[in-house]
Amino acid sequence: MLPLCWRVSDADRMSDVIEVPVPLAGHSYRVVVGSGLLPCAGARIRAVSQASRCALVTDSIVGPLYAEMVRRSLEESGFDVVIITVPSGESSKSLTQVAFVCDAMIEAGLDRSALLVALGGGVVGDLAGFIAAIYYRGIPFVQIPTTIVAQVDSSIGGKTGVNAAGGKNLLGAFHQPVLVLADVSTLSTLPEREFNEGFAEVIKHAAIRDRAMLDQFDDLTSLVARNVAIKAAIVTEDEFETKGVRALLNFGHTIGHGIEAAAGYGRFLHGEAISLGLVAACRLSVQKAGLPPADADLLISMLARYRLPLVLPSDISTDNILQALRKDKKFHAGAVRFVLLRALGEAFVSSEITEKDIVNAIEGLR
Amino acid sequence: MLPLCWRVSDADRMSDVIEVPVPLAGHSYRVVVGSGLLPCAGARIRAVSQASRCALVTDSIVGPLYAEMVRRSLEESGFDVVIITVPSGESSKSLTQVAFVCDAMIEAGLDRSALLVALGGGVVGDLAGFIAAIYYRGIPFVQIPTTIVAQVDSSIGGKTGVNAAGGKNLLGAFHQPVLVLADVSTLSTLPEREFNEGFAEVIKHAAIRDRAMLDQFDDLTSLVARNVAIKAAIVTEDEFETKGVRALLNFGHTIGHGIEAAAGYGRFLHGEAISLGLVAACRLSVQKAGLPPADADLLISMLARYRLPLVLPSDISTDNILQALRKDKKFHAGAVRFVLLRALGEAFVSSEITEKDIVNAIEGLR
């Protein structure tokens, strides 16, 4: 049985739909958070797009669950839909898949008047968003994120891109969606591990901007919307990451990305690697920025509550992590810009963290 | 012997250096036209970039001629240079070469603080510009165009991109250079056929905006600068091709691109295919827009003067041309938007041209 499809006017009256505006100059959009949004996605998308044709880009896990439901809704709203499916997993964030999807779109006759809809987790959103950025030099796109990480983080803010052989997210574009539909019902089909990993980014948001959120993890719609609001505020302050504000979102990500790459993609989920990065960044914050140890412990206990890893496996060498780190985009012109916490909810970018500090922090995870 | 290298201050006083501003909101830049610019490129580039590292992207024909000269000049101005060479020819405008060049840049340790310098014709400029648009979500780049087409057309205006299996220039981005150095000395090393093909775009510029230019084809620096000024004015009016002005630059290109694709890339040079497209568009303009036949004949005689083709070989079928045409970006949502001339120097976009008119125009080329 499909969930009941409300008409938009009804949906808008429902108490459990929260809309968060992302008021960017020239390309504002809304993030709609709620449950049961997928079966009536078409009407909400029609409200922001006059396109007649649309590519629905999804992956081999999410597609079988939701693509037909979304396709039907899009067709009811007058879109002619072609579904394009990429393999699930990080390896699909590649120029090879860019070429595959673009060729399928060209084959289907989609031109610059088409719309792209990304249905899936962060990989699909980043890949499809990048394709929307470059297809005919840019077409509009809608994000329908289906994981917690994608709903609270990657679908908002317009960072799109793919990985290069030499590092993650090195090729990309800033391209904002015209609408984000975050349907929390899709989170119920996530395996436990994928559900839990999402909380690494939620805990990160609390750490850098919203300590009080740590006590309010119960209602998913409210929690997702609160995280969307944090991300939206930061993106609005610093759309192109030129003012040092957006960089705060990298809390836990410098070492986290290094661990993710050194472990080999696929071993840790992104959020799991970020959990380790958050632990290291918390401890560095205690040592270097006066974060009260009890606050660090609180954050670490929240990570533990979602069964996220706190200890680095011994077979992942510090050298390999450092090597991966040096390829990270955050190593600006060779210098480390590291995000620390003065207190829970108060993050800042430090230039005082040396490579030796990072080595010690990694060793401290063992 | 290398050409004499003037210091910038001397070069600026030289009468044969012409600077054309491209005054775009937020990212204005200059196009410097003159002879002997390459050996002192570094100083001019240093004036617009504080980068310490730079990728010099070139191709297998232009690289051996000029890359070392430009490298030396860049090094004298304090840039650390890595030269990356792609095979000469249209087939290098591919995602495969994007991956190759990006991997080489990552391997060389270039990050978001790096500069990219494109040294070559239109293929190198389009490819390298696209890479600059997506590398670390965008780094600054300089165009050093070495062909007439690239100097008067493709290096100016920020259109960058690569081809997809299904069509030319379908993947790309708007990314403006920070400087364009058009050294007309490089044109002297062009084979006659490549030299001549450039005049198709020059004649097109005269046709749509500057009839008087047809009498002033003598001095290369002046001619290139005059064409740069036409292109710059149009781009400034309509940077993102949303206002119908930039579309005028497509005069001759709808049928021209179809012929180029149907003939198979490599058979015609771009300008040669455009020459055929210009002939067809002139005749359609006579039939449909009141262009005086004598004006059409004048343009066609100018094409003949540069030995550009005026007759379509019989083995290229009209069907194949039409099929290629339908994949062209200019077929907006299936409708043809065709550029016609009311008079020499007065172009407009027409929606009145049918597919049947196009078939007749193609047949008229036989």
Q: Which domain holds residue A316?
A: 242-363
Q: Are residues B246 and B184 in the same domain?
A: no
Give how far Cα B127 sits from Cα of A191, A361, B162, Å.
42, 41, 6
Q: Are residues B41 and B157 in the same domain?
A: yes
Measured in angstroms, the CA of A133 and the nearest CA of chain B are apart by 7
* Number of domains present in the structure of chain A: 2
Q: Dump pLDDT digits (tens) for B133-182.
A: 999 999 999 999 999 999 999 999 999 999 998 888 999 999 999 999 99
CA B132 to chain centre: 17
| B203 belongs to a structural domain | no
Q: Are residues A184 and A289 in the same domain?
A: no
Query: What pLDDT does B245 receive?
Result: 92
Q: Is the CB of A334 less than 8 angstroms away from the CB of B111?
A: yes
Q: Are residues A173 and A298 in the same domain?
A: no
Q: Which two tokens stand for residue B36?
A: 């002997």
pTM (2 decimals)? 0.91
Whether residue B26 lies within 8 A of chain A, CB to CB, comes out as no
From the candidates A50, A105, A171, which should be mutated to test the interface with B, based on the most B CB atoms within 10 A? A171
Query: What pLDDT does A335 receive?
Result: 66
Q: Which residue has the tokens 């080329």?
A: B365
pLDDT band at A84 (very low <50, low <70, confident <90, very high): very high
Where would I find the H helices in B108-191?
A: 122-134, 148-149
Q: Is the CB of B165 less than 8 angstroms away from the CB of A333?
A: no
B150: region left, alpha or beta (phi > 0 left; psi from -120 to 50 alpha): alpha
Measured in angstroms, the CA of A341 and the nearest CA of chain B are apart by 26
Q: Are residues A277 and A142 in the same domain?
A: no
On the question of pLDDT at A35 being above 90, the answer is: yes
**End residue of a domain, out of A145, A166, A189:** A189
- The shortest CB-CB distance from B111 to any of A99, A106, A332 is to A332
A142-151, A288-297, A328-337, A347-356: which range is least confident on average?
A: A328-337
Q: Is the CB of A333 less than 8 angstroms away from the CB of B136?
A: no
| A179 belongs to a structural domain | yes
Measured in angstroms, the CA of A199 and the nearest CA of chain B are apart by 27
Give the whole-angstrom CA distance, residue B79 versus residue B82. Answer: 10
Give the whole-angstrom CA distance, residue B56 versus residue B335. Answer: 40
Query: What pLDDT does B10 receive?
Result: 45
Mean pLDDT of B179-195: 95
On the question of pLDDT at A117 being above 80, the answer is: yes
Query: What pLDDT does B165 receive?
Result: 87
Other residues' Cβ atoms within 10 Å of the Cβ of residue B304: 13
Give the whole-angstrom CA distance, residue A134 versus residue B137. Answer: 12
* CB contacts, 8 Å: A127 with chain B: none
Report DSSP state, residue A118: E
| A99 belongs to a structural domain | yes
Query: What pLDDT does A130 receive?
Result: 98
Mean pLDDT of A195-217: 94
| B231 belongs to a structural domain | no
Tell me, what CATH number does B161's domain have?
A: 3.40.50.1970
Q: Is the CB of A106 less than 8 angstroms away from the CB of B137?
A: no
Q: Are residues A162 and A260 in the same domain?
A: no
Query: What pLDDT does B20 receive?
Result: 97
Share of chain A above pLDDT 70, in %: 94
Residue A220 · residue A212 · CB < 8 Å: no
Nearest CA in chain B to A241: B137
- Shortest CA distance to B258 belongs to which of B322, B167, B198? B322
| A222 belongs to a structural domain | no
On the question of pLDDT at B202 being above 90, the answer is: yes
Whether residue B136 lies within 8 A of chain A, CB to CB, comes out as yes
* CB contacts, 8 Å: A327 with chain B: 106
The DSSP secondary structure of B258-309, one letter per residue, reads: HHHHHH-BTTB-HHHHHHHHHHHHHHHHHHHH---HHHHHHHHHHHHHTT--
Whether residue A134 lies within 8 A of chain B, CB to CB, comes out as yes
**End residue of a domain, out of B128, B159, B189:** B189
Other residues' Cβ atoms within 10 Å of the Cβ of residue B339: 25
**End residue of a domain, out of B128, B155, B189:** B189
From the candidates B107, B131, B171, which should be mutated to test the interface with A, based on the most A CB atoms within 10 A? B171
On the question of pLDDT at B33 being above 50, the answer is: yes
Mean pLDDT of B334-351: 90
- Using DSSP, how many helices (H) and how many strands (E) does chain B show? 14, 13
Tell me, what CATH number does B304's domain have?
A: 1.20.1090.10
A 92-111 → B contacts, CB under 8 A: 95, 98-99, 102-103, 106-107, 111
CB-neighbour burial class of residue B312 (10 A; exposed 0-12, middle 13-18, buried 19+): buried
| B212 belongs to a structural domain | no
pLDDT band at A54 (very low <50, low <70, confident <90, very high): very high
In sequence order, the 6+-apart residues with CB closer than 8 A to the CB of A309 are A268, A272, A275, A276
Q: Is the CB of A333 less than 8 angstroms away from the CB of B52?
A: yes
Query: What pLDDT does B200 receive?
Result: 96
Give the whole-angstrom CA distance, residue B292 versus residue A130. Answer: 47
Please give the interface size between A and B, counted as residue pairs whose CB atoms are below 8 Å apart.
96
From the candidates B111, B175, B246, which should be mutated to test the interface with A, based on the most A CB atoms within 10 A? B111
- The shortest CB-CB distance from A111 to any of B134, B165, B331 is to B331
Report DSSP state, residue B3: P
